[in-house]
């Protein structure tokens, strides 16, 4: 079995990869967040005079249960394509799948640059009036970066070779639903009547997309690298897809606030979507965002159902994942049950703090 991931084994790997005495490892730290990927930051000193970055990231699947059925190699390929665009991302350097050099239980990994910054932003959810403009500025920054992603020519950069694209604008919603339910079929170990029931509603009510764009997936607070009020790198691409731009707005964590002062709404989802249209020329309806919030609930329920199996069979000792698999799974299913039996499926019913908390918990790296 390959060596455990620690300073000595990583130094040995770097000697193998870059050459003996090429670099000296000076620090190795595991990023504390993340339940789908492990993210390790490390620093090196270049001893051979080569011009290589000294702050690096090692990213690999978590140990045990797989929550998102996309390989780390797939994520590396996404990052490699993004690095050739104007989208701000950390440059991927290489992918490793040699069992002799994959640590612990042989999990493959990739190495990328580390971008200086932080995943958290002070006062981003502070309701005090003095932080209104700060929150609006951050919201506009997130919208602008999503716009950059959505304007990528995904065909020219060959994203279609590794991502299943919808057949048409009308197929965008149904394709997203089909993908989620295919994943459910692979992991389901007990009946899920709520998910079975809501599938038909989703297929019957899927809105056409205004344009088929490259999507980031989960985004917002906890998913990007910030420096003050600027996003210097978009991170976490493991749920990247191609589809309706409304999907990204439905899955933005904490950076699309509703702010009302003295009876006047000074920022809202509509403001954000209008700003987005001014940057991209793409019009997105709020009702479509509401629809994809519901799709996000289904995706979350399937995601946590995957975690639930390992908890149910006793192979998962991590208490945090047990919480994800039970309470948060219940929250998503309850919201879907409300929708199935005719209650409000848009606006405040989906995308409220409860859903955001569920998404925030699964945030991986910054």
pTM of the predicted protein model: 0.89
Question: In the chain, how long is the greatest CA-to-CA distance?
Answer: 67
Pairing of strands 219-220, 252-253: parallel
pLDDT tens string 194-252: 898 899 989 999 999 999 999 999 999 989 999 999 999 999 899 999 999 999 999 99
Highest mean predicted confidence (pLDDT) among 157-161, 309-313, 357-361 = 157-161
**pLDDT for position 331:** 84
Domains of the chain: 7-113 (3.30.200.20), 129-361 (3.90.1200.10)
**pLDDT for position 171:** 98
Q: Check residue 163 and give left, alpha or beta (phi > 0: left; psi -120 to 50: alpha).
A: beta
Asked whether the beta carbons of 37 and 364 are under 8 A apart, the reply is: yes
Report the C-alpha gap between 311 and 331 in whole angstroms.
Answer: 17
CA proximity to 17, closest of 104, 95, 105: 95
pLDDT score of 292 more than 80: yes
Report the C-alpha gap between 284 and 172 in whole angstroms.
Answer: 14
Q: Report residue 215 as tokens.
A: 């999507």
Question: For residue 272, what are the CA distances in angstroms to 144, 220, 267, 285?
Answer: 10, 14, 7, 11
């Amino acid at each position: 079995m390959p060596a455990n991931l620690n300073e000595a084994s990583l130094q040995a790997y770097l000697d193998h990869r870059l050459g003996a005495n090429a670099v000296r490892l000076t620090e190795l730290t595991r990023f504390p967040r993340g339940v789908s990927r492990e993210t390790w930051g490390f620093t090196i000193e270049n001893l051979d005079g080569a011009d290589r970055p000294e702050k690096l990231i090692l990213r690999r699947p978590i140990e045990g249960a797989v929550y998102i059925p996309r390989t780390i190699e797939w994520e590396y390929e996404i990052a490699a394509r993004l690095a050739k665009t104007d989208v701000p991302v950390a440059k991927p350097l290489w992918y490793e799948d040699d069992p002799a050099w994959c640590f612990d239980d042989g999990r493959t990994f990739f190495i990328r640059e580390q971008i200086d910054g932080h995943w958290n932003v002070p006062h981003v959810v502070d309701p005090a009036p003095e932080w209104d403009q700060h929150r609006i500025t951050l919201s506009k920054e997130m919208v602008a970066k999503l716009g950059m992603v959505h304007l990528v020519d995904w065909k020219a950069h060959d994203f279609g070779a590794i991502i299943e694209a919808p057949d048409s604008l009308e197929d965008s919603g149904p394709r997203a639903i089909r993908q989620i339910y295919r994943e459910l079929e692979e992991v389901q170990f007990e009946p899920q009547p709520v998910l079975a029931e809501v599938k038909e509603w989703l297929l019957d009510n899927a809105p056409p997309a205004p344009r088929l764009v490259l999507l980031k997936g989960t985004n917002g607070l906890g998913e990007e690298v910030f420096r003050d009020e600027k996003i210097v790198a978009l991170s976490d691409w493991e749920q990247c897809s191609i589809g309706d731009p409304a999907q990204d707005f439905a899955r933005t964590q904490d950076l699309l606030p509703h702010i009302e002062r003295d009876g006047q709404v000074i920022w809202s989802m509509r403001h954000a979507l209008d700003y987005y249209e001014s940057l991209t020329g793409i019009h997105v309806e709020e009702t479509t965002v509401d629809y994809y919030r519901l799709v996000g609930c289904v995706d979350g329920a399937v995601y946590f159902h995957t975690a639930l199996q390992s908890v149910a069979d006793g192979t998962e000792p991590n208490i945090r994942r047990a919480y994800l698999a039970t309470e948060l799974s219940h929250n998503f299913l309850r919201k879907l049950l409300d929708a199935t039996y005719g209650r409000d499926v848009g606006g405040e019913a989906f995308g409220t703090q409860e859903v955001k908390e569920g998404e925030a918990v699964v945030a991986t790296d910054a």
